[in-house]
Amino acid sequence: MNYKAFVYGVVLVLACVENGFSATNESTGAKSPPLENETEEYPYFLPFLGQKAIDAGEEIPLPLGISVNYYGVRRDIDVASVSASLNDNPLQSVDEYVSFDVSTEVQSATMRLDAWLFPFLNVYGLFGGIDNTSDIRADVSIGGTNYNIRADGSFSGLTTGFGAALAAGYADFFMTIDANQIYSELGDAFDTRFSGQIYTARAGWKGKIEGHNTRIWLGATYWDTEREMTGSIDTGGVLVEKINFQVVQKPVNPGNMSVGFNYEITKKVNIVADYGFNFDDAQLLLVSLGYRFH
């Protein structure tokens, strides 16, 4: 068996085995624009218990929202295990022959729809597209000979997701907890789509800057995106018709901190920016423009 070609084929497919997490647009949890005309009677069906919140003197958002979002991620990927085979042969581990160093850059553009079901609970769904570029470096040892292989891999696909955020506040402070599930299509070579969960907690200050409602926060995020991916690549050859693979991958550092703000341009329009980091390999940037209505 030509192990060099065998392992090199495995290296190439890793270009597509990356984090579909870039599709996620996390809720800021900050209160959205107030009703334009507050009255003693709450005029809208949502959120449930809206009337009680108004009676208690709370300022609650318009119940529905739509936003367009850009999300960019740079981080390193840990390839924990790789197995492969040729044609219809069973998968075998190639970990003893090769070690990987993988970094990835993901950009996504999504649209997010949300609704406040209760004054403290927001639910949302999102859809859009992602573009992934990977820098894959592999050290291969076969028959006492070492090879350095570098591959540039990329793919584009669709991404969808849904989530919920709990929000609470006291005086000039607020806190939110957000959880979401995301899915990303990785291309025809893979048997299944990528899925993952992202959990975020934020706390910060809420008030007004030059008369505009503003929220500023610190946050912490955990990426539960360790997954086993399987698939195959058709080579078009005679002796080797396809390469089958199984890869276990995860972020090198699944956690990160963040700082961000939500600034209301008008009562219905707001802009959100959030920058994530972990003092090591990860940088993340979210920019969002939102519109609220009823």
Task: Give the residue numbers spanning the domain of 223.
Answer: 3-293
Position 147 scores a pLDDT of 76
List of residues 6+ apart from 136 with CB closer than 8 A: 11, 14, 15, 100, 101, 102, 150, 151, 152, 153
pTM of the predicted model as reported, rounded to 2 decimal places = 0.81
- Residue located via tokens 């208690």: 56
Q: Are 203 and 175 in contact (CB under 8 A)?
A: yes
Position 229 scores a pLDDT of 80
- Residue located via tokens 């849904």: 162
d(CA 142, CA 7): 9
Position 40 scores a pLDDT of 65
What is the CATH number for 210? 2.40.128
CB under 8 Å, gap of 24 or more: what pairs does 51-54 form? 53/119
| Count of alpha carbons within 13 angstroms of residue 207, beta-carbon side | 9
Task: State the amino acid at position 44 in one-letter form.
Answer: Y
For the stretch 251-271, what's the b/e string if a residue is b when 16 or more beta carbons lie within 10 angstroms of its beta carbon?
Answer: beebebebebbbbbeebbebe
| Angle 177-181-185 from CA coordinates, rounded to 5° | 150
Q: Which of 181, 176, 207, 177 is nearest to 194 (CA)?
A: 181
User: Each residue's pLDDT tens digit in the chain (294 positions)?
Assistant: 443 333 333 333 333 333 333 333 344 444 444 545 445 688 999 999 999 988 887 778 899 999 999 999 999 988 888 888 888 889 888 888 888 788 889 999 999 999 999 999 999 999 999 998 878 777 878 777 887 877 666 778 899 999 999 999 888 999 999 999 999 887 666 777 789 999 999 999 999 999 999 999 999 999 999 888 888 777 777 777 888 888 888 899 999 999 999 999 998 999 999 999 999 999 999 999 999 999
Position 227 scores a pLDDT of 85
> What are the DSSP calls for 214-281, one per residue?
EEEEEEEEEEE--EEEEEEEE---SS--EEEEEEEEEESS-EEEEEEEEEESSSSEEEEEEEEE-SSS
d(CA 271, CA 114): 15
Would you say the C-alpha torsion 208, 211, 213, 219 has a positive or negative sign? negative
**Phi, psi for 130 (deg, rounded to 5):** -130, 155
Please tell me the total count of domains within the chain: 1
Asked if the peptide bond before residue 61 counts as cis, ω within 30 degrees of 0, the response is: no
